[in-house]
């Protein structure tokens, strides 16, 4: 509950400021010696330190912008966390101000600390991110008072897409954990939560026109005990929660492969002679009758909707599903998967992608798919998610298609934090994917990029603690690589700043991996 005081007089103690004024230091390029103690991740575009400190007391007045409710809520939560009592008054110590004339884009902001704290942005999203930067400049727990460096920050992101992907299909993840993950993402200015909602091992979103998808398809998982699904109402509520944290949820319905959960729910979606087929993609555990049954293994590439033989049924199914998904999710893009069709339907795959893009267009949405979908004749406003380091993406780029970067040897967070970490994959990076490896990704080396996303596949991730261990602190590196410009990125400085934020990760309850470079042992 918000603790707003019923008085409007600013205590004199709040005016206590540092006495020493020094010449301003412009940190608009790479971090300088004087700005290295500005422990913000991702690092801002411009940091100018002014010398001296501003003392923030335990009782203050604030001014918020009525047209910016999300940033106001974020500020209220921050003050509550630090046990700072506040009232709203024009004579404010902390001011949130909207200024649409600022040329900082949709997510940019200014943060000024001098005789008070002023956060200015053209949008509510920008003000929200200004609050996140202020939060990192403060301790994570309540203190008698708070000394903040006098500074001027001007900041906006390099890329609009700064994402995390959670595979909730292989092993189900609760709504409560998703909310925690959204809050953690927002703290590091990550703004896209890609939910991999369907796969061979589970169908996780309620589709009312095809009810057996959740009656049958949601009952299984790789771990054997993490079945479940999200009702449409639950997902709508989660979307609202995420939007208040400036996070957009991107739904993925993987098609036409990775569909065993759908086929087990509705056998007619498979080709009629599928039980007589030899093993597909060396999946020896899925032959005969198993081609029509629920699956809890980890093999990939064996399943597919039978569009080549049953186009009317399959495309009716796809349209029904995507229509309901589009009604639930307001996102501009619908992710339709489109990867690893390594089976009987491989030859029909390009035509399938072309047809599904037409369905997506009819829903007034844009297509997002894994890189293999470039085989289809898709619209130039589509996005492809680039995951295979060696995939020839040039033909798609020539069509004007843009990329979400998820090259597996840099960003696949189901791989180990270190060489030999138990219960992690090695198929893409045999030595694991260290924090430094993630940070070494240079998006600027790729063409037509909208941003970066860190996927975490969940075959080997069956609980929240393991998910935390795989995602954090590596998602913080994803955040900086996608927000901060290359000229300002420096791994040693990043690790020093992130190390100083450990208390914040602890406060959020993150069960992170203690990366050696952070000195957290």
Please check whether residue 268 is in contact with residue 309, taking contact to mean a CB–CB distance below 8 angstroms: no
CB-based contacts of 487-496 (< 8 A; 24+ apart in sequence) = 487/29, 487/30, 488/29, 488/30, 488/31, 488/43, 488/45, 489/43, 489/439, 490/30, 490/31, 491/436, 491/439, 491/440, 493/30, 493/31, 493/36, 493/43, 494/41, 494/43, 494/439, 495/435, 496/36, 496/39
The answer for residues whose C-beta is within 8 angstroms of residue 442's C-beta and 6 or more apart is: 486
- The runs of H, that is alpha helices, within 57-174 are 69-81, 124-137
Please check whether residue 175 is in contact with residue 418, taking contact to mean a CB–CB distance below 8 angstroms: no
Token pair recorded at residue 391: 């995939």
Distances (CA, A) of 492 to 188, 501, 504: 18, 15, 20
- The runs of H, that is alpha helices, within 338-393 are 349-362
Distances (CA, A) of 504 to 39, 152, 462, 512, 514: 11, 23, 25, 12, 14
Token pair recorded at residue 340: 């690893």
φ, ψ at 447 (rounded to 5°): -100, 150
| Catalytically annotated residue among 48, 59, 309, 340 | 340
Is 436 considered catalytic here? no
Token pair recorded at residue 9: 């007089």
Please check whether residue 314 is in contact with residue 306, taking contact to mean a CB–CB distance below 8 angstroms: yes
Rounded to a whole number of angstroms, the CA Rg of the chain reads 24
The answer for residues whose C-beta is within 8 angstroms of residue 500's C-beta and 6 or more apart is: 37, 39
Backbone φ/ψ region at 19: left (φ over 0), alpha (ψ -120 to 50), beta:
alpha
Helix (H) / strand (E) containing 264 = helix 260-265
Distance of alpha carbon 393 from alpha carbon 391, whole angstroms: 6
Token pair recorded at residue 118: 């002023």
Active site residues: 340
């Amino acid at each position: 509950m918000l603790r707003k005081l019923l008085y409007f007089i600013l205590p004199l103690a709040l005016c206590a400021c540092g006495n020493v004024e020094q010449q301003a230091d412009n940190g608009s390029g790479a971090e300088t010696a004087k700005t290295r103690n500005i422990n913000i991740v991702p690092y801002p575009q411009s940091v100018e330190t002014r010398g001296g400190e501003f003392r923030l007391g335990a009782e203050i007045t604030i001014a918020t912008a009525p047209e910016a409710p999300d940033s106001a809520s974020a500020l209220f939560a921050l003050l509550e966390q630090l046990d700072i009592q506040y009232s709203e008054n024009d004579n404010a110590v902390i001011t949130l101000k909207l200024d649409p004339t600022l040329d900082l884009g949709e997510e940019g902001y200014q943060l000024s600390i001098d005789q008070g704290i002023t956060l200015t942005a053209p949008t509510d999203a920008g003000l929200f991110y200004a609050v996140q930067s202020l939060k990192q400049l403060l301790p994570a727990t309540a203190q008698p008072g708070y000394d903040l460096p006098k500074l001027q920050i001007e900041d906006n992101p390099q890329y609009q897409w700064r994402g995390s992907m959670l595979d909730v299909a292989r092993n189900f993840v609760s709504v409560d954990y998703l909310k925690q993950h959204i809050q953690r993402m927002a703290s590091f200015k990550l703004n896209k939560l890609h939910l991999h909602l369907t796969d061979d091992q589970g169908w996780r979103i309620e589709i009312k026109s095809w009810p057996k998808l959740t009656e049958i398809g949601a009952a299984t998982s790789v771990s054997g005990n993490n079945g479940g699904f999200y009702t449409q109402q639950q997902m709508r509520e989660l979307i609202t929660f995420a939007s208040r944290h400036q996070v957009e949820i991107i739904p993925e319905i993987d098609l036409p492969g990775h569909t065993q959960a759908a086929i087990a729910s509705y056998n007619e979606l498979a080709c009629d002679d599928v039980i007589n087929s030899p093993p597909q993609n060396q999946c020896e555990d899925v032959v005969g009758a198993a081609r029509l049954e629920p699956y809890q293994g980890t093999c990939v590439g064996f399943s597919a909707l039978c569009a080549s033989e049953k186009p009317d049924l399959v495309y009716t199914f796809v349209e029904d599903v995507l229509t309901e998904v589009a009604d639930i999710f307001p996102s501009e893009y619908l992710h339709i998967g489109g990867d690893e069709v390594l089976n009987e339907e491989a030859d029909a795959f390009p035509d399938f992608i072309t047809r599904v893009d037409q369905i997506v267009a009819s829903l007034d949405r844009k297509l997002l798919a894994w890189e293999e979908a470039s085989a289809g004749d898709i619209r130039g406003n589509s996005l492809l998610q680039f995951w295979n380091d060696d995939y020839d993406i040039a033909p798609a780029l020539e069509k004007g298609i843009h990329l979400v970067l998820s090259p597996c040897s840099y960003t696949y967070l189901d791989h180990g934090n270190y060489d030999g970490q138990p219960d992690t994959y090695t198929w893409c990076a045999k030595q694991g994917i260290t924090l430094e490896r993630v940070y070494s990704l240079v998006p600027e080396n790729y063409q037509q990029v909208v941003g970066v996303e860190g996927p975490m596949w969940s075959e080997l991730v069956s609980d929240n603690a393991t998910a935390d261990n795989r995602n954090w602190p590596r998602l913080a590196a994803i955040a900086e690589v996608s927000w901060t410009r290359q000229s300002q990125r420096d791994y040693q400085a990043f690790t020093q700043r992130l190390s100083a934020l450990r208390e914040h990760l602890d406060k959020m309850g993150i069960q992170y991996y203690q990366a050696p470079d952070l000195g957290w042992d």
